[in-house]
Structure 1
Amino acid sequence: MEKETNVRPDLVVILGPTASGKSALGIALAQEFKGEIVSADSRQVYRGLDIGTAKVTPAERAMVPHHLLDVVEPQEIYSVSQFQQEAIAAIQAILQRGHQPFLVGGSPHYIQTVVDHFDIPTVAPQPELRARLEAQPLEQLLAELAVLDPASAAVIDRKNPRRVIRALEVCLVTGQPFSQQRGTSQPLYRCLLLGINWPRTVLYQRIDSRIDERMQQGLLKEVQDQLASGLTHERLDAFGLEYRFASRWLRGEFASEAEMVQKLKYASHDFTRRQLSWFRRDKRIIWLDAEADLLTQARAALQTFRAHSE
């Protein structure tokens, strides 16, 4: 009887690089296994950032309940700690309804905070401090982080100012290295991690096609609308490559739209390599062959997972 009290509920995680087909697989599985989806995307939490983040459409949301989409305005700061708290709350509510929760996305940090139940420093955002840090060149911020927290500086995404500023913010407010304030608690869920694996050349083609589609869907207008609403170019830069490059194009930094699109594709390939490097470290992930029948593979893995419940 004692074992029953230690049984952890099942959480199915669908992850993978940009343009790998996570959303479609998540919807198909959730429909089949009476599920609901919690988005694990660091940009889809923002309202109005739809095209550049490949946010699921209203029609797709009508097929399966989705959570943690359109949570805050782009002017607001949404932290990893906030995501963890709200994702766990959403998962618990799904379980209480007797449904299967699916965590679907490509943001490794977000996924890990839930799967491994990270202890995250609960330092509230400091607007004045952030404004001062945001005014400094990224190279200077990295140098400061290397002094205050060498361990974080060694592994942090050096091209992501938000991550660097957050690490510095925690260091400066608490007086302790950010890396020493993160640990793991007892896992809340028994997790099945399913990754979508494409041959690299095919994945790059899918990324390029998606960028072309986003341009056709009105990515530049989406960025212009955000600027018109009062969002700054600097804030747009924090929302990832699509918004960063579109913002730079609108500021006249490229000779042509075609040049901007091509450089965005190259930068997206590089980002995907880093994304995959992060995921490959986690040996728990079961990689599905995207060139075969993804749904059949995922269904079999989920059925086996359930058959070996604790």
Structure 2
Amino acid sequence: MLKKLIVILGPTTSGKSELGVKLAKKFNGEIVSADSRQVYKGMNLGTGKITKKEMIGIPHHLLDVVSPKRRFSAAQYQKLAIKAINRILKKKKIPFLVGGSPFYIYSIVEGWQFPKLKPNWKLRKKLEKKSVKELFEILKKLDSERAKTIEKNNKRRLIRAIEIAKKIGKVPKLIKKPQFKCLILGIKKPKEELKKLIEKRLLKRIKKGLINEVKKLKKQGISWKRLESFGLEYKWIAYYLQKKLSYQEMILKLQKDIEHFAKRQMTWFKKDKRIYWVKNKKEAEKLTKDFLKK
């Protein structure tokens, strides 16, 4: 019988962390983060990482796992996250997987089996210089089937698919072996409300020292290129610090970029019919209670 896991997902700024903490407190749980940037140490304000105070004593796992200088893959994440979930279950507690990175979330929910291939950094470096359009064309020639299903604008995913196709001829079909029985709760907000929340949160983080956080990371030896590769806050603030755009331009472009990011997250989540979209904490509590009773 599969062990139970509760998943809380949604776009950026929708209130996932807060709901996760409330449910974990009520149902004697612990939280496993599913955020592809919160795994990095020192990237706090930029990733909207939950603070110690906001955790209200609820243990959180998979935050601050690796230095931003190091590369960290979804396969590495999956391995560590499954270990953390099993540790929580061993303590007779309820694991909550909370985040907005679809790739990380579904690697756990669906138990993706990643191809056991060592990364080819030389090839990746070469492909990194190409545009997403060029990468898509390369993949189409190598493996037209995979090209049909891949996210066309996801550079990292395109590079990995090309790398696998070059090594073994074509990207193998994704094998899924779920290890957990999941209840998936989603939070979404009306478009205009989310827009306002994104703006409010961005300005609050700037006030708290977001620009200094990026300066500090640079001082620690993280290159501009690496900072830019993290996207969103790190990318636009890195451009601003390099005097490639003004403060006002940086704020405007960053706001737009975060809005687009939220839209992309929702595009992915909307396809999943297993998600229960909850309107409030009460609804989430009832669904959780019923799921745990079964």
Q: Shorter-chain-normalised TM-score: which range?
A: over 0.9
Which one is further off, 96-105 or 203-212?
Answer: 203-212
Q: Is the 8 A contact 1:22 1:196 kept in 2?
A: yes
1:184 maps to 176
* Mapping of residues 1-310 of structure 1, within 5 Å: 7-61=1-55, 63-177=57-171, 180-185=172-177, 187-254=178-245, 256-289=246-279, 294-307=280-293, 309=294
Q: Distance in 2 between matches of 1:231 and 1:157?
A: 28
1:4 maps to none
Secondary structure of 2:157 counterpart: helix
Aligned length: 294
Secondary structure of 1:192 counterpart: strand
Q: Distance in 2 between matches of 1:234 and 1:183?
A: 34
Q: Distance in 2 between matches of 1:277 and 1:284?
A: 15
TM-score normalised according to structure 2 size: 0.94
Secondary structure of 2:187 counterpart: strand
Structure 2 residues without counterparts, runs of 5 or longer? none
Secondary structure of 1:223 counterpart: helix
Q: Distance in 2 between matches of 1:153 and 1:16?
A: 26
Going from structure 1 to structure 2, the CA distance change for 1:149 and 1:225 (only over 3 Å counts) comes to: farther
- Provide the identity percentage: 42
Q: Which amino acid aligns with 1:305?
A: F
Secondary structure of 2:278 counterpart: strand
Q: Distance in 1 between matches of 2:2 and 2:152?
A: 36
CA deviations on 1:54-90 (whole Å, 9 max, x unpaired) are 0111223452101111111111111111111111111
CA deviations on 1:187-215 (whole Å, 9 max, x unpaired) are 21110000002111101111111111121
Q: Which amino acid aligns with 1:295?
A: K
Q: Distance in 1 between matches of 2:53 and 2:150?
A: 37
TM-score normalised according to structure 1 size: 0.90
CA deviations on 1:131-188 (whole Å, 9 max, x unpaired) are 22223344332321222233443444444432222222222233322xx242212x21
Secondary structure of 1:298 counterpart: helix
Going from structure 1 to structure 2, the CA distance change for 1:279 and 1:127 (only over 3 Å counts) comes to: same
Q: Distance in 1 between matches of 2:143 and 2:212?
A: 40
The alignment's C-alpha RMSD in Å is: 1.6
CA deviations on 1:278-302 (whole Å, 9 max, x unpaired) are 101000000012xxxx221110111
Q: Which amino acid aligns with 1:261?
A: I
1:3 maps to none
CA deviations on 1:194-248 (whole Å, 9 max, x unpaired) are 0002111101111111111121122221111112222122211221211111112
Q: Is the 8 A contact 1:45 1:72 kept in 2?
A: yes
Q: Distance in 2 between matches of 1:169 and 1:227?
A: 30
Secondary structure of 2:234 counterpart: helix
